[in-house]
Every structure is written in C-alpha cells, then in structure tokens.
Amino acid sequence: MGLLSLAIWTPIFFGAVLLALGRDEHVRAVRWVALIGAIVSLLVTLPLYSGFDNATAAMQFVEKAPWIERFNVHYHLGLDGISFWFVPLTAFITVIVVIAGWEAITSRVNQYMGAFLILSGLMIGVFSALDGLLFYVFFEATLIPMYLIIGIWGGPNKIYAAFKFFLYTLLGSLLLLIALIYLYVHSGGSFDIQTWHDLPLPRTAQTLLFFGFFAAFAVKVPMWPVHTWLPDVHVEAPTGGSAVLAAIMLKLGAYGFLRFSMPIAPDAAHEWAWLMVALSLIAVIYVGLVAMVQQDMKKLVAYSSVAHMGFVTLGFFIFNDLGVSGGLVQMIAHGFVSGAMFLCIGVLYDRVHSREIAAYGGVVNTMPKFAAFALLFAMANCGLPGTAGFVGEWMVILGAVKANFWIGLASATALIFGAAYTLWMFKRVYLGPVANDHVKELEDINAREFLMLALLAIAVLAMGIYPKPFTDVMDVSVAELLKHVAVSKLN
C-alpha cells in the first residue's frame, strides 16, 4: 500500500471503527478516536510533500493495480502539481472539523465523526484518481456522507436542503458518466485519464464532452446560474458540514475542469471560454451584490463562496500561467478562509442559536479574543494583502489583465463588493455597543475553540506572507497543462 492509498483509506478505516462503536454510550472515547484518526490521517499526507519533485509535471506516487479486469478498470492513483495540495488540505480541514464538533454534537456522535472521516478519504480519492471510473466512484460516493451530515444534524429544513443538494449534484453527474463511457469506447476500452488527454476528437464530440463535464463540475463549483442549492444547504448544514462543503467539496468541481474539460476537449474549451468567463464574471459581480443584502450570516458567506469560486473558473479559462496558478492558489486559500468564516459563525450559533445579523452587535465587548480572529478572517475574505485571500485573487486579476484589460478591470472592481459585504457584516455583528442581553451574556472562546481558530489563522497568514511553497509545487504542471491545451486535438 503506497502513500496515496494510506491517505485515502486511513480516514475511511477510522470512520468505519467509529461507526462500529456504540451510539452514545462511549461519547468520550468516540471523540478521542475521531481526533486520533483525523491527526493520523493528516500525518500520513506529510511525507507526500517531502517526497514530491517540483521539477517534473509527471504523475508521482503512482499506484496501479487491476480492479475490474473484464472492463480494463484499474485502481490507479497519482498526484501532480495541480492535485497535490488538495490532499493535505482535506486532511487538515478534517482535523479542524473534528475539533469544532467536539462539544457542539451531542447525539449520534460516532456517526457524525465517522461520516466526516469517511468523507475525507473519499475526497482525497477524487483528487488522486487517474482512472476515469475510479474517479467517478469517489466523486459520487462523496455525496452519501454529506447527504447524511445535512439530513441528520442539519437545521429545521434539513431534509429539503439534503434532497436539493443530492438531486442537483446527481443529475449533473449522470451526464459526466455518459461522457466517461463515450471516452472509454472511443479510446478502445481504456479508462486511463492520461490516455484520454491524447485522444484526437472531432469538434462536435469535444463540444458535447465539454458540456457533459460542465453539467457535473459547474454544479459542484457552483457556477452561476446553478448555484442556488448552495445557500440553502449552507444554512441548514451543521457547522462542520458547512466548513467541509466550502473548504473542500466545492473544489472537486473546479479540479474536474483542469483534469477533464480542458485537457480532453481543448478546442471546445477555447471555443467556449467566452461563456465560462462570462459566467465567472456574473458570479463575481452579481452574486457579490446578492451577498450584500443577506440578513443571515451563513447565507452571506455562502454567496461569498460562489463569488470567490468565480475567480477560480475565471483564472482557468483565460489560459495563461498566472490565471491557472492563481485559480489553484485561490482554491486552497478559499479552503482556509471560508472554512474559518463558517466555523466563526458556528461559535456564535452555539451560544446564541441564531445566525441572523440583527441578533448581534457589540460582540467585541464580550468576546475580544474571538473578535480578533473573526477580524483576521474577515480581512482575508476581503483579499487583504498579507493574508491567503489576497494571493490567488491578485494572480487571477493580473492574468486577466494580461489576457484582456476589460476582463481584468471587471474582476478587480468586484473586490470592492467583497470588502463591502464582509466589513458590513463584521461592523454590525462585532462593533459598537452591546446590542442585547444575549450578547451581554456571551463568554469568550475556550481553549478548544482557540486552538481550532489559531490553526486556521496560522494557515491564512503563512499562505498570505509566503505563498512560494504552494506556487512552486504547481508551476511545472500548470505550464505542461497549458502547453497541452494549446495543441489542437481535432482529427
């Protein structure tokens, strides 16, 4: 078993152990097993960084074994510079989520923790899979634990939100499956994704494949106008569910564009780039305006996620190194920042049981330590230089200006909206005099919450001040992808 298999199956194993433990009889033991499992799963991913060679675009840590031999399906794993950082990011966010749910979850604790650990392994599988069918199995399997997390531990309309999440993402994925079967047949019976990258495909086939992939990946990102499931799901999901959804699950769709849409159908990607850029700019500008009028903190941050992910898809489809690398950096940064924003909302919700902005005011007076963390994450969400939120957006804007000045200008002006809705929310929730008795009775964060937020704060600042380790890993792979996409595959 190689390092990638360990990264995938270690959290799944611990998740299965948790499910086997008694429901609520051994809560203390369950929490510690979950934490140990999450930390071990993170430690398993660390040797990947020390063993990764930045100088090559080839797949590394490759594992390949026959799986369904009759159909030439393989258990085939590998990482390159594009997928690398999402493996440790997933494991890191899982540790944070386990710490976040330590006291907040009191019923079916083993199932809650087990679902997150299993979800973590499945998401790492998506980023590691080099076999089309294996990718699809992991991609779809992630829906199951997240559906249960929303449907069991969610808010009052949890069943509606869980069904909406499941149906939106499943319907798009059915077109992805048809595209994968077409590629399997056209390639002479191979599910190898890298083999598909070199297939000479006619223009019509490329266009159909591109939109088949688009149906699955755009919903997952989510791009405008198929983003409407996200605010409902975020509002109803428990805090940990929102954090993982925003930090990792949205990235599965964006990653799919780089692994499937662009290299397999490069001519269609170039032909329809104008549509992708237009939809991305609508997400960045229009959804940013929608975020300004939200009264629910979770909805505001949910719409903010759609706007930030618009920068990602914009960066990918301007086809230059700054844009694509910036999109990838933005995905990682958004994982830290949006996860932190949702966890901050969870800290307040656990105390007041309201997500309405109007229910707060003057929180800084009673929770000064917590307000300091919240300010840092709010500034990162605005894209303040020196925080993780700045690096990716700045790179995408530079790449957009390089491609087309007006696209760059439109994306840059959208940062004003991001600052407006984030700072407006911060002002109304945290600043000013104490607004009511609920706020007056608030207690500052305890040691567990401090640890959770401090880990995220370190990640946000480290990436903002010194992003070189992140960009160095992806540079060669991004350059190779752009070189590949620039060559026509028309036969």
**To 5 degrees, how large is the angle CA 134–CA 137–CA 215?**
105
Please tell me the total count of domains within the chain. 1
Tell how many helices (H) and how many strands (E) occur in the chain. 24, 2
Q: How many angstroms separate the CA atoms of 20 and 29, rounded?
A: 12
Residue 44 has pLDDT above 60, yes or no: yes
Q: How far from 280 is each of 222, 284, 316, 317, CA to CA, in Å?
A: 10, 6, 10, 9
Report the pLDDT value the prediction gives residue 58, as an integer from 0 to 100.
81
User: Mean per-residue pLDDT for 59-86?
Assistant: 84
Q: Between 375 and 436, where is the model more confident?
A: 375
In-domain check, residue 479: yes
Q: Exposed, middle or buried by CB within 10 Å (0-12, 13-18, 19+), for 53?
A: exposed
Instruction: Say if 158 falls within a structural domain.
Output: no
pLDDT over 80 at 1, yes or no = no
**Does the pLDDT at position 439 exceed 80?**
no
Q: Is residue 66 part of a domain?
A: no
Assess whether pLDDT exceeds 60 at residue 491: no
The answer to which of 31-45, 384-398, 452-466, 474-488 has the lowest mean pLDDT is: 474-488
Backbone angles phi, psi at 73, to 5 degrees: -100, 135
Q: Which residue has the tokens 């991004």?
A: 478
Q: Count other Cβ atoms within 10 Å, centred on residue 389.
A: 30
Residue 237 lies in a domain: no
8 Å CB contact between 263 and 212: no
Tokens for 162?
A: 């869980």
pLDDT band at 490 (very low <50, low <70, confident <90, very high): low
The span from the CA of 374 to the CA of 424, in Å, is 13
- pLDDT given at position 278: 87
User: Has residue 325 got a pLDDT over 70?
Assistant: yes
Say which residue, 482 or 1, is predicted with more confidence: 482
Which pLDDT belongs to residue 22?
65
Identify the band that residue 66 occupies on the pLDDT scale cut at 50, 70 and 90.
confident
Q: Mean pLDDT, the chain, as a whole number? A: 84
pLDDT score for 250: 84
Q: Tell me the C-alpha distance between 22 and 356, whole Å.
A: 36
Place of tokens 């959290």: 11
Mean pLDDT of the region 112-118: 88
412 Cβ partners below 8 Å, 6+ apart? 397
Structure tokens at 429: 């929730």
Tell me, yes or no, whether 20 lies in a domain.
Answer: no
Residue with tokens 């409902």: 232
Per-residue pLDDT at 272 exceeds 60: yes
Element (DSSP H or E) covering residue 75: strand 73-79
Q: How far apart are alpha carbons 75 and 72 in whole angstroms?
A: 10
Specify if 102 maps to a domain: no
What range defines the domain where residue 401 resides? 275-491
Looking at per-residue pLDDT, the higher value among 9 and 103 belongs to 9
Least confident of 14-28, 163-177, 315-329: 14-28
**Dist. CA 147–CA 159, nearest whole Å:** 9
The one-letter code for the residue type at 62 is V
Q: What is the mean pLDDT of residues 298-319?
A: 85
H helix intervals, 105-244: 109-128, 132-141, 143-153, 158-186, 193-197, 203-220, 229-236, 239-244
- Give the count of beta carbons closer than 10 Å to the beta carbon of residue 436: 13
Q: What is the per-residue pLDDT for 24?
A: 63
* Mean pLDDT, rounded, for 72-95: 87
User: Averaged over 320-337, what is the pLDDT?
Assistant: 88
Residue 433 is given by DSSP the state S
Q: Find which of 39-48, 66-75, 100-109, 197-206 is predicted with most confidence, using mean pLDDT.
A: 39-48
- Residue environment code for 260-276, b if the CB has 16+ CB neighbours within 10 A, otherwise e: bbbbbbbbbbbebbeeb
- Residue 122: pLDDT band (50, 70, 90) is very high
Is residue 315 domain-resident? Answer: yes
CA atoms of 161 and 147, how far apart (whole Å) = 9
Extract long-range pairs of 370-375: CB within 8 Å, 24+ residues apart. Answer: 370/344, 370/444, 370/445, 370/449, 370/453, 371/430, 373/340, 373/344, 373/445, 373/453, 373/454, 373/457, 374/344, 374/426, 374/429, 374/430, 375/426, 375/430
CA dist 367 and 352 (Å) reads: 13
Give the pLDDT score at 488.
Answer: 64
What is the rounded average pLDDT of the residues 196-214? Answer: 84
Contacts of 199 (CB under 8 A, 6+ apart): 183, 186, 187, 264, 489
Whether 399 is in a domain gets the answer yes
d(CA 265, CA 185): 16
> Is residue 462 over pLDDT 80?
yes
H, E, C per residue of 96-113 = HHHHHHHHHCCCCHHHHH
The one-character DSSP state at 74 is E
Residues in the chain: 491
- Tell me what the mean pLDDT of segment 461-478 comes to: 87
Residue written as token pair 């499956």: 177
> Quick one: average pLDDT of 78-93?
88
pTM for this one? 0.87
- Whether the pLDDT of residue 106 is over 60: the answer is yes
**Residue 362, helix vs strand vs coil:** coil
Q: Give, rounded to a whole angstrom, the gap between the first and last alpha carbons of the chain.
A: 40
Peptide bond just before 200 cis, omega within 30 deg:
no
CA 232 to chain centre: 17
Give rounded-to-5 percent helix, strand, coil for the chain: 75, 5, 20
Task: Dig out the tokens for 11 from the structure.
Answer: 């959290």
